[in-house]
Amino acid sequence: MTHDTIARLEHGFIASVQADDGSPLRDSRMIAALAQATVLGGANGLRINSPEDIRAVREITDLPIIGLHKVPGENRDVITPLVEHAIALAQAGADIIALDVSRELRGGDLSIIGAVRELTGLPVMADVSTLDEGTRATDAGADVVGTTLSGYTPYTHGDTEAPDFALIEQLVARGIRVIAEGRLRTPADVVHALSLGAYAAVVGRALTDPLITSARYARAVTEARSAAASRAVSGS
């Protein structure tokens, strides 16, 4: 079952359908509708936050669902920090459990990977930010490794606009089954990640959050107007 579920994701893209508190989309029915739209559009799988949203999405599709439980942290949201969270996700209908296994959160203790696999019977996606975290997670039993946290841990702060293609390459070179995730904003980004050997790729807000997407367009228009005004002043 573990291998069958993961095999359904191979060479495809996974839609991450989430909405933060305060968003007009923050309703499980809205999440399910957005998820259904991405499925109709061709997504191979879904990445969904919280048992409530997973239950709603499970009603509209049998595609693999990567379940996670975000908990607000001091500097960023933490992904499924407790075994109890993972069990609730499994009970809600998740097929794969995403865990934050960063050194920032776990230190050197990755026993949660084995515990979640044993108690839920489900495969684990280990969300990491570095090559070392990815190799350690694989050694600890993770079924797939996601590049989700690159740029979001204190020791990987840097270019948080572009995808971390280098990390994808490094993990693939170690023979690790990688799900590319993080700042994949265009079809070209996804195709490039897959060409580097990623098993699958996750696309999030660029695909499913019109608030974020429209803000990007608005910013581009504002910047273009500002540049045009500057040129007009300098040419006068």
The CA-CA-CA angle for residues 143, 131, 1, to 5°, reads: 5
pLDDT over 90 (residue 10): yes
* Residues near 222 by beta carbon (within 8 Å), at least 6 away in sequence: none
| Range from 25-34, 84-93, 165-174, 210-219 carrying the lowest mean pLDDT | 210-219
pLDDT tens readout for residues 128-156? 999 999 999 999 999 999 999 999 999 99
Q: Which of 143, 102, 112 has the alpha carbon at shortest distance from 3?
A: 143
Rounded Cα distance between 64 and 62, Å, is 6
pLDDT tens readout for residues 48-72? 999 999 999 999 999 999 999 999 9
Which CATH number is 2-209 given?
3.20.20.70
DSSP state for residue 164 in the 8-state scheme: -
Residue 97 and residue 90 in contact, taking contact as beta carbons nearer than 8 Å:
yes
Amino acid 234: pLDDT: 80
Amino acid 158: pLDDT: 66
Tokens at 173, concatenated: 């070179």
Amino acid 89: pLDDT: 98
Average pLDDT, the chain: 94
The DSSP code sequence of 44-77 is SEEEEESHHHHHHHHTT--S-EEEE-EEE-SSSE
Q: Tell me the average pLDDT across 170-189.
A: 97
Q: How many CB atoms lie within 10 A of CB 144?
A: 22
Q: Which of 141, 138, 125, 122 has the alpha carbon at shortest distance from 172?
A: 138
Task: Enumerate the domain spans of the chain.
Answer: 2-209
Q: What is the pTM of this model?
A: 0.93
Rounded Cα distance between 142 and 124, Å, is 5
pLDDT over 50 (residue 1): no
| Range from 95-104, 142-151, 159-168 carrying the lowest mean pLDDT | 159-168
Q: For 136, what's the count of Cα atoms within 13 Å in the CB-facing half-sphere?
A: 18
C-alpha torsion 42→125→83→19, nearest 10: -40
